[in-house]
Amino acid sequence: MMYKLTLLCYRIYMKFEVSHTDRSVIIALGTKEKEEKIPQSQLQMPDDDFFANAPREDLISFAKQAAFRALESIAAEEVMATKLALIISLLNGRADVRCAQSSEKDLDLFSEDLQIIEDENRLLLPLPQEVIDTQIKKPHYSRKELSGYHNVAEKIYTLDEEEIRILQESGFKVRDLGEDVSEFYQIINAVICVKVKRKKYAIREIATGEDSIITVKADPRFLPKTKVGDIFLGDACYKKYALHIPFNRYSQSLKLDGCNLSRQDFDRYHLQIYERLHNMEFLFEKKAKTSEVLYIDEVPTVTQKSKKKKNYIWIFNNNEFAWYRYFEGRGGEDPLSNFRTYKGYCMTDAYSSYPAYLHEATLCICLAHCRRRYIDYRKVTGSEADVKIPLDYFGQIYHEDGKLRDMYRSGEISEEEFFTRRNAICLPILEELKTWCTNCADTGYKRSIPLKRAVTYTLNNWNRIENIFQTAKIELDNNRSERLVKVIKLGSKNWITNGSEDGAKASSLMYSILETAKMYNLNPRDYLSYVFMKGGECIDWEISTEDLEPLMPWNVTQQDLSIVTDEYKFLAQNMLSTEEYEARMAKINSASI
């Protein structure tokens, strides 16, 4: 808590504060003038006991008098000037400076053995015992250190020679006491034009005298003969598919810096990316077919000029990959026909296409979907009494599975122990749930259609519920897929429809790349740039699966992305302002004439 007072002294505003905590004094002088004067005051220097034990009111009174006296006297006594050097800012009122008087001896700021302690919480004046006894210590939360930056810029604020001279002529000694350092993030929209200059050389074969010209080869770009480099391309795709910024908004933001890339340019680049990378689809499919567990879901989308009002994006995923696939309709033949011989576990909803095509897979039903039917009953009727028992059963199963699965993931128990302990607890609860549902069906569902819908859904899919507990590898629900669906929904809110079928397929592949990269803790933006930089080295326009395999997220480490950060550093160290570059080129051209 601070005592604050603002007053006028010799046409200058003076801000004056006393802290209740350490009883230190802050005085700052402003620059506004007023034709008022305060009568001259007499001041005697008190002893050290005064500073150590004086009450707040006396400190305030003395601080006022000290400030008045310092202003009135140009050549103040050296001791007084020294004591006020920390608490009075005479230069344009720019700073509030804190001063605390030692209770043991006068503080000599110009002593050669003076030690500067950078501890804001250290009290230079002792507190009264009653204050110490009643003071409640607040927890100190330190701010996290800044990280993730590639460049550092310093702003150094010092007294210039003229300001130091004014202080010295006013009777003050000036000594450098170090510096106070703070830091913060800053960002600039630096659109860099990279000029690629390939040197040409004339060579002559000595034996034959034949002349020829060679040109040094430049690093290839992923999209040659376009306006964008690989890092720019990675940034644009990341902002659209991870941050959900449409290309037209991205283009508008670039125009603020004078960059003349249009939405149509980005749309064209987007389709060209898919043309080069579409063989990644086969690698994702291979990954899916060799997985022990698959989570599958579908989400509607809208594509312009499509024959159907609703189109669908299917998501095949587990904890190792996320594969988004676009199809014109919801029919399962196209997305599921390639998985007829798949023999793993599949977590899905009750959509009929799954059992129609996944003949050899062990189908599991999402428990969250089952539970949701009972939640819907509660919402419709406004009563929980009739569904409290099944909801409690679901809650117990989720609680026990979650607790044991956390222990399994942390390494406290093995997979086999998790499976045994989980089933020992959950299977009896599951049997009680089945008994309750059967009894409810036998008694006519209490004449409630919402309750009938919930119980029927549970009993019709009971075999698939039991399949969940045949392995420890599969989770209780399909929430993993629900989270991956969310990125599609967020994108749809920003660009509403897909412009074409090819555009929808290109978007699906981009979602697959980004979401899978996140699973391996790769920086998704840098990973995209890495794929483009490495993919640019391939001669064929359609990059083969053999060349793409090393670029898949599960084959890339964070260390591999260092080529992207190295490019960042190169650009930061070598970029010049347009004016500097033109001046340098003019100098070179004039020298060559």
Query: By the 8 A CB rule, do 94 and 70 touch?
Result: no
Query: By the 8 A CB rule, do 183 and 494 touch?
Result: no
Query: Residue 591: what pLDDT?
Result: 80
Residue bearing the bigger pLDDT, 177 or 549: 549
Amino acid at 433: L
Query: By the 8 A CB rule, do 385 and 363 touch?
Result: no
Query: Residue 175: what pLDDT?
Result: 80
| Whether the predicted pLDDT of 527 surpasses 50 | yes
List for the chain the helix, strand, coil content (%; round to 5).
Answer: 50, 10, 40
Q: Which two tokens stand for residue 560?
A: 């591999």
Q: Which two tokens stand for residue 92?
A: 């344009």
The 10 Å Cβ neighbour count of residue 455 is 25
Q: Identify which of 498, 574, 550, 582 has the alpha carbon closest to the alpha carbon of residue 194.
A: 574
**13 phi and psi angles, rounded to 5 deg:** -75, 135
Q: Which of 44-48, 163-167, 199-203, 535-539 has the lowest mean pLDDT?
A: 44-48
**8-state DSSP, 478:** S
| Whether the predicted pLDDT of 391 surpasses 90 | yes
Rounded Cα gap, residues 74 and 464, in angstroms: 92
Q: Please write the tens of the pLDDT for every residue from 295-353.
A: 999 999 999 988 888 999 999 999 999 999 999 988 888 899 999 999 999 999 999 99
Q: What is the distance of C-alpha 159 from the center of its chain? A: 38
Domain range list for the chain: 2-110+122-133+147-164, 278-364+480-519, 367-477
Q: Please write the tens of the pLDDT for every residue from 41-72.
A: 455 666 667 766 777 667 767 776 776 666 55
| Whether the predicted pLDDT of 406 surpasses 70 | yes
Query: Residue 385: what pLDDT?
Result: 86
| 3 band by pLDDT with thresholds 50, 70 and 90 | very low
Token pair 């400076």 in the structure block, residue: 97
Task: Report the predicted TM-score, pTM, of the whole model to 2 decimal places.
Answer: 0.72
**8-state DSSP, 91:** S
Q: Please write the tens of the pLDDT for every residue from 82-140.
A: 444 444 433 333 334 343 334 434 445 555 544 444 444 433 334 445 544 555 555 65
Which residues touch 249 (CB under 8 Å, ≥6 apart)?
Answer: none
| 11 band by pLDDT with thresholds 50, 70 and 90 | very low
Which residues, in sequence order, are bridge partners of residue 7? 14
HEC readout, 10-29: CCEEEEEEEECCCCCEEEEE
Query: Residue 27: what pLDDT?
Result: 47
Query: By the 8 A CB rule, do 373 and 458 touch?
Result: yes
pLDDT, the chain, mean = 80
| Whether the predicted pLDDT of 407 surpasses 60 | yes
Rounded Cα gap, residues 251 and 262, in angstroms: 6
Sheet with 97-99, strands from edge to edge, namely 2-9, 12-19, 25-29, 97-99
Q: Which of 128-137, 158-167, 239-248, 573-582 has the lowest mean pLDDT?
A: 128-137
Rounded Cα gap, residues 548 and 540, in angstroms: 12
**3 phi and psi angles, rounded to 5 deg:** -90, 125
Query: By the 8 A CB rule, do 1 and 8 touch?
Result: no
Query: By the 8 A CB rule, do 477 and 367 touch?
Result: yes
Give the class (CATH, top level) of 278-364+480-519: alpha beta
How much is the average pLDDT of 188-207?
81
Q: Please write the tens of the pLDDT for every residue from 237-275.
A: 999 999 999 999 999 998 888 888 899 999 999 999 999
Q: Please write the tens of the pLDDT for every residue from 428-453.
A: 999 999 999 999 998 888 888 889 99
